[in-house]
């Protein structure tokens, strides 16, 4: 119950039954945002910070983020590093393999806009958003683990406010 209260303070609980009343949207969103499985996928230097974030000191698991090796198990992908043109087609493929709903965090300047390689990087894709949609951009080169965690929290916010019902109606 404690957890459900977090979901919505106005949640209704009945005294004798084991049930609560809430809206479908809120329930789904709650389930989604508290277990975002992430695809294990490192690209460049930022991946090291991502690893550090999931290791002992910063601990990703508290947000329900568990690395999964296969895109078909994953809800979220963190693009952590420089996307080269040779890699870009592969990332697109991986993205297409993920089941809906899927979320993307673009971590680091490189995947936001090309980063330090924007000018002379003939083989660098200047921004992952040229091939796949991005939900949250985390700036930095590399972003500190705290910044990445902030990005994850922002993504959770985003999920909390989305509506499955309205989307389908529209």
Contact footprint for ligand SF4 (CB under 6 A): 44-46, 81-82, 108-110, 115-116, 141-142
Residue 124 in contact with another protein, rule: CB under 8 A: yes
Main-chain dihedrals φ then ψ at residue 141, nearest 5 degrees = -145, 85
- For ligand SF4, give the closer residue by CB, 29 or 82: 82
Total residues at interface with another protein (CB under 8 A): 44
Verify binding: residue 111, another protein, rule CB under 8 A. no
Q: Which of 4, 11, 52, 66 binds another protein (CB under 8 A)?
A: 52
133 sits near another protein (criterion: CB under 8 A):
no
Distance CA 46, CA 52 (A): 10
Give Cβ neighbours of residue 43 (< 8 Å, ≥ 6 apart): 79, 80, 81, 82, 83, 87, 111
Q: Which residues bind another protein (CB under 8 A)?
A: 39-45, 47-49, 51-52, 55-57, 69, 71, 81-82, 84-90, 94, 114, 116-126, 130-131, 141-142, 144
């Amino acid at each position: 119950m404690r957890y459900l209260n977090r979901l919505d303070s106005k949640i209704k609980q009945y005294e004798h039954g084991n049930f609560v009343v809430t809206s479908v949207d809120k329930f789904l969103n709650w389930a989604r945002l508290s277990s975002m499985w992430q695809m294990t996928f490192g690209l460049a230097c930022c991946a090291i910070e991502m690893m550090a974030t999931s290791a002992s000191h910063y601990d990703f698991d508290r947000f329900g983020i568990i690395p999964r090796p296969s895109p078909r198990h994953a809800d979220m992908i963190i693009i952590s590093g420089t996307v080269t043109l040779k890699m870009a087609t592969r990332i697109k493929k991986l993205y297409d393999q993920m089941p809906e709903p899927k979320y993307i965090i673009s971590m680091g300047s490189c995947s936001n806009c090309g980063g330090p390689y924007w000018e002379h990087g003939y083989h660098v894709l200047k921004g992952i958003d040229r091939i796949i949609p991005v939900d949250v951009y985390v700036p930095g080169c590399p972003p500190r683990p705290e910044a990445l965690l902030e990005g994850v929290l922002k993504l959770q916010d985003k999920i909390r406010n989305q509506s499955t019902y309205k989307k389908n109606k529209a």
